[in-house]
Structure 1
């Protein structure tokens, strides 16, 4: 049993009546503390992981998409990304190297989407191609940019040899 004892101090020469020592039983307070700790441990929720939903196509059939509305983003090394509109061998908008900042990839997506909407009247489709020299964080950043810029149609694809040669020309592979 836990106790709190205090002894009276002597003051002056007058004899005083002896008071018994003060005893406070702390057992109930310790029990209450453990009950509260247990309650809060059992009723709290841990942080839930956040995940982005990615719908993958069914089957292995290649879907034909007009090159005039397809933006390709190739993820390279040193947190750099290269983007172009159209095909790799004859792009409509030339391959340009950028970063993942607001004035980098996000601005490029907005400008390209505006160009595609003006020229074709349809929405833009984005293909993200991570290179072997890129890191996983770059892919997550590119997917975040798709969500932020509200791109409805995008895909993750394997990088083609033409894209690798473009990245090597830009010193980003």
Structure 2
């Protein structure tokens, strides 16, 4: 018999897909979305606000000893700070004073007042009740000063403070005169 040409069989190649690049891209996408998700979270600062301002037996706070714990910080223009303790209208514990943003001035005064209140509250059997600070930024104060004051609250270990946007007539006169 004659040699018939044999059928040439083609070799079957194994099909393999290299997924190395796909895995790399997947990990990059996962990292990207994790980072974007973390950066998209709102950044907020915790504020410790005081309890309702009712004192001894439901009387208004002004007639209570707790008003002695009040410390008010008024932010004016040109980095001006006016502070007083107590309630301004009838008779403040200390006369309103103008102070400045510095470690040796405002922070020292604030820390001293808070320590005095902590000692007083411990002596009457109610420990860990420091100063209650009211921060009142005026319309002429800048945002940076408010942030600086909030940082001072943290550094002075003040746990109870609030930001108030309304001024009493006496405080408005005080701010206008300085």
- For the pair 1:86 / 2:86, whether they are aligned, the reply is yes
Structure 2: tracts of 5 or more residues without a match: 1-23, 124-128
User: Which residue is equivalent to 2:19?
Assistant: none
Q: For residue 67 of structure 1, report the CA deviation from its aligned partner.
A: 2.0
2:47 to 48, 51, 54: 54
Structure holding more helix per residue? 2
Question: Structure 1-normalised TM-score?
Answer: 0.63
Calculate the aligned-residue CA RMSD, in Å: 3.4
What per-residue deviation string (whole Å, max 9, x for no partner) do you get for residues 20-70 of structure 1? Answer: xxxxxxxxxxxxx98997686556576565421235679998972622111
| Other structure's SS at 1:93 match | coil
Mean alpha-carbon deviation: is it higher for 35-44 or for 93-102? 35-44
| Other structure's SS at 1:164 match | helix
Question: Structure 2-normalised TM-score?
Answer: 0.61
Structure 1: tracts of 5 or more residues without a match: 1-32
- Looking at structure 1, the residues matched to 117 and 33 of structure 2 have their Cα atoms a distance apart, in angstroms, of 54
CA gap 1:63/1:128 in 2 versus in 1, 3 angstroms: farther
| Other structure's SS at 1:163 match | helix
